A and B are shown apart, each in its own frame.
Chain A
Amino acid sequence: MSEMDRRTFVGNAAGALAGALLVAGCKESTKNLVPGGPQVRLGVIGAGSRGQELMRTFLRVPGVRFAGLCDVYEPRFAAAREITREETPIFRDYRELLAAKEVDAVVVATPLSFHAEHVIAALESGRHVYGEKSMAKTVEECDRIVETVQRTGKHYQVGVQYHYATWYRETLRHIREGKLGQITQIYAYWHRNSNWRRPVPDPHDAKLERLINWRMYKEYSLGLMAELGSHHIAFANEIFGGMPESVVGSGGIDYWKDGRETYDNVQVTYRYPGGKTLCFSAITSNAHEGAQIRVYGTEGTAVLTEADGVLFYEAKKLKASAVTKVLIDHGIVTGASYMPEMPYRGKGEAVPVPEDVEGNANYLACESFVKSVIGGQRPEANEQVGRAEAVAVALGNQAIEEGKRIWFRDFVREGVGA
């Protein structure tokens, strides 16, 4: 592919994705689910911390029951059954769970390196899939998931739940209406002050350590980029209308030198078509910034957190005014010049959220998936959203590891999901 062709392709793919998102966003909402309505029996592959949280949330959606639990770590069966409060069937091999007739749809919450295997097998078994982010670990795996979704006609929803958060949707509407002017930059942070480890019953059991703290090991994980960055990247993709075209990055194991392999801090800068930029930073040694996205437009700024959104507007530029005669007669005074360029410290406006949308981001995402399973409509955070997010995560991580700019056109295959 020539340089020009590649550029055209990436641009077109981005445009196509933006179109798909817009169409999805305009789709009429389905009827509310009610108790006593259709039943959905879910199977969960990976009932760890995140899997359990998803189970609790799914069980708040009318009609949901868990018909199968699969994990490779025995104590999780009891913990998961404590959530369902029934003797939910357990499986030690995901293929057995997929062979169970009682399972209508599957939730995949396994370590990142297993996503593609589990998601594809579940789709092939004829089930719709809710898959945790990041969609998959490599670009090639992402492409295979997209192809499988298209071939099987089954739905895939990626677990970027903020896609469904009311204050995100509303902010996006403000942006699309031009209220913040032209969006040129997004700065996104996920800053924590903790070692990001989960307790291991026996710290000397290396196998158990890798199983529980899989996020620390490159074999399974893309570290902070995948586990935290994917949410912010997915939103930037939505604002900028598709995947980035290049990325540079840095990172290291600089504070928590405890045997981990994935970075304890990462900073990446993505460039999107049309000269737009996403800077993402994740650190684990200071929590001042917390988790937030700052969307900068020529007319204003949106700051989004995990719980709300606030809009700020740029100061109005001073207008020309008539000059009095005093100035002409007396002149102006000279002196040392100093005008500090201070950050804006005024109050913003809370992003208004519609009152008829109930529940937090996790609930809305889970409810939406159940509606897709029952009603058959395509999820909004579908495999294209997942692919765009996961490819950016994978290439961002590669940019950090290789210490050079990565061009998406060199890795992103043409025609996937077109």
Chain B
Amino acid sequence: MGEPTPSRSNPTSVNVCILLGMGVFLACICFVSLGWAQIAKAGPPATKLYVESQQAMGTVFTIYLYAGNDEQAGALFGSAFEEIERLDQTLSNYKADSELSRINRLAGHEAVTTDPEMFSLLQTCLEYSKRSGGTFDITVGPLMRACGFFRGQGRYPAPWQLDRARGKVGWQKVQLDASARTIHFAVEGMELDLGGIGKGYAVDRVIGQLRAAGVKAAMVDAGSSTIYALGAPPGKDGWLVRVPKPGNRSQTISTVVLRDESLSTSGSYEKFFRLNGRTYCHIMDPRTGEPVEGMLQATVIAADGTTTEALSKPMFVMGTEEGAKYLARFPYVSGLWVTGEIRAPRVVPWNWPGCEGDCGETLADIGERKAKAQ
């Protein structure tokens, strides 16, 4: 355990491939050097590990970085958290004065002009929706609310309620005009929620800053669901990230070594409910409005945080077989599912670098077993 698999060993080419694949990403990922760039290039060698946390985007962001002294670390943290706060202030759907809230209030009535960064991020979202067959969908808010998941009520809505909510949901109803940089909702009452991508985007922006500042080793953790590891701690191959057993964070399924790549996890084990003898989780399939059944956790590794965060929920919703086919469409991606019941979870890896002990059946194993049975 410890060596990154060959398929993930070339982060530069990963970036290039994803860029070519997604096109619209270019501007998001290619972070240009800011005025304070090169901070870590001057001064003493970066041998001390610093850590700082701050609340943002409904979770806690933690940044670990190697710097030469307190002053340098303080300057890096200061700029990084300022950027996270800026993005929270822009992308939040809770803050009434965010740019996203302005779009949500107006776009049902008129075409709303927004800035290039926001526009580009929305383009990226729709691209993911299209590619994922709608399992990634930033318009799903009204349906989520109808299902009572927002307040964790665990109540199941009446069919007419679902139908009404479905009318206000659907990425195809978001109209983007690149020449005018406008967003327009085809129907009133729609709203966008960037909760499935915003943290990853913020992680990428911060990583871009740290890289431009000359930082050689850092890790940015957005509430443990999206993590990016920049370089490696001195003398190490990379940063260790443990994938826990669902429902028990002290037990580890897999420990991976991340280096210049990101990992995201979607999980539902903390918020599931039982109804008529079946277990439902709070993650919903945007295509049907039904809660996902029988899935506990999905983890994905890819080149950047925007990608991993945008892939993790579709992976969860699609399940192992459809999900693996989806992941296969992206270069240099690894996935790990945990399915079944919390008491008897089943681990299903796909192109995964390694697990503690037994990684469980791979998809290939499952296929083989099924073939033999027939």
Q: A-side interface residues toward B, CB under 8 Å?
A: 34-36, 48-49, 53, 56-57, 59-63, 73, 75-76, 78-79, 81-85, 194, 197-204, 212, 307, 358-361, 363
Across the interface, which residues of B come within 8 angstroms of A61, CB to CB?
Answer: 113
- Whether B114 and A60, one on each chain, are in contact in the complex, defined by CB atoms closer than 8 angstroms, is yes
Which residues of B (12-64) have their CB < 8 Å from a CB of A? Answer: 27, 31-39, 41-43
Greatest chain B CB density within 10 A among A34, A63, A360, A361 is at A360
B241 close to A (CB within 8 Å): no
A198 CA / B114 CA spacing, docked (Å) = 28
CB distance from B182 to the nearest CB of A (A): 5
- Whether A199 and B36, one on each chain, are in contact in the complex, defined by CB atoms closer than 8 angstroms, is yes
Task: Among B27, B31, B75, B117, point to the contact of A199 (Cβ < 8 A).
Answer: B75
Which residues of B (90-130) have their CB < 8 Å from a CB of A? Answer: 95-99, 102, 105-106, 110-111, 113-118, 120
- Whether A199 and B79, one on each chain, are in contact in the complex, defined by CB atoms closer than 8 angstroms, is yes
Across the interface, which residues of B come within 8 angstroms of A197, CB to CB?
Answer: 75
Which residues of B (130-181) have their CB < 8 Å from a CB of A? Answer: 177, 180-181
Across the interface, which residues of B come within 8 angstroms of A34, CB to CB?
Answer: 110-111
Task: Among A73, A83, A202, point to the contact of B35 (Cβ < 8 A).
Answer: A73
Q: Name A80's closest neighbour in chain B (CB-CB).
A: B32
Given contacts A35-B111, A62-B113, 19 further A-B contacts (CB under 8 A): A35-B182, A36-B180, A53-B86, A56-B117, A57-B115, A59-B114, A60-B115, A60-B118, A75-B33, A78-B32, A79-B32, A79-B33, A82-B31, A83-B117, A199-B75, A201-B35, A201-B37, A202-B38, A363-B99
A61 CA / B102 CA spacing, docked (Å) = 12
Q: Name B31's closest neighbour in chain A (CB-CB).
A: A82
- Whether B35 and A75, one on each chain, are in contact in the complex, defined by CB atoms closer than 8 angstroms, is yes
B338 close to A (CB within 8 Å): no
A359 CA / B118 CA spacing, docked (Å) = 15
Across the interface, which residues of A come within 8 angstroms of B302, CB to CB?
Answer: none
Q: B-side interface residues toward A, CB under 8 Å?
A: 27, 31-39, 41-43, 71, 75-76, 78-79, 86, 95-99, 102, 105-106, 110-111, 113-118, 120, 177, 180-182, 213
- Whether A48 and B42, one on each chain, are in contact in the complex, defined by CB atoms closer than 8 angstroms, is no
Given contacts A82-B27, A201-B38, A202-B38, contact A59 B110 (CB under 8 A): no
- Whether A78 and B33, one on each chain, are in contact in the complex, defined by CB atoms closer than 8 angstroms, is yes
A358 CA / B35 CA spacing, docked (Å) = 32
A203 CA / B42 CA spacing, docked (Å) = 8
- Whether A212 and B115, one on each chain, are in contact in the complex, defined by CB atoms closer than 8 angstroms, is no
Q: Name B36's closest neighbour in chain A (CB-CB).
A: A199
A-B contacts, 5 listed (Cβ < 8 Å): A35-B113, A48-B35, A198-B36, A212-B36, A363-B102
CB distance from A307 to the nearest CB of B (A): 6
- Whether A201 and B78, one on each chain, are in contact in the complex, defined by CB atoms closer than 8 angstroms, is no
Given contacts A203-B42, A203-B43, contact A212 B35 (CB under 8 A): yes
Across the interface, which residues of B come within 8 angstroms of A83, CB to CB?
Answer: 115-117
Across the interface, which residues of B come within 8 angstroms of A359, CB to CB?
Answer: 97, 102
A49 CA / B78 CA spacing, docked (Å) = 13
A35 CA / B42 CA spacing, docked (Å) = 46
Q: Which 7 A-B pairs have the closest CB atoms?
A: A199-B75, A360-B97, A85-B116, A59-B115, A78-B32, A62-B113, A199-B36
Across the interface, which residues of B come within 8 angstroms of A212, CB to CB?
Answer: 35-36
Q: Name A360's closest neighbour in chain B (CB-CB).
A: B97
Greatest chain A CB density within 10 A among B27, B32, B76 is at B32
Across the interface, which residues of A come within 8 angstroms of B32, CB to CB?
Answer: 78-79, 81-82
- Whether A204 and B42, one on each chain, are in contact in the complex, defined by CB atoms closer than 8 angstroms, is yes
- Whether B106 and A85, one on each chain, are in contact in the complex, defined by CB atoms closer than 8 angstroms, is no
Greatest chain B CB density within 10 A among A60, A62, A212 is at A60
CB distance from A194 to the nearest CB of B (A): 8
Across the interface, which residues of A come within 8 angstroms of B110, CB to CB?
Answer: 34
Greatest chain B CB density within 10 A among A35, A63, A73, A359 is at A35
- Whether B37 and A75, one on each chain, are in contact in the complex, defined by CB atoms closer than 8 angstroms, is yes
CB distance from A203 to the nearest CB of B (A): 7
Across the interface, which residues of A come within 8 angstroms of B115, CB to CB?
Answer: 56-57, 59-60, 83
Task: Among B34, B105, B117, B181, point to the contact of A79 (Cβ < 8 A).
Answer: B34
Across the interface, which residues of A come within 8 angstroms of B120, CB to CB?
Answer: 85
A79 CA / B177 CA spacing, docked (Å) = 25
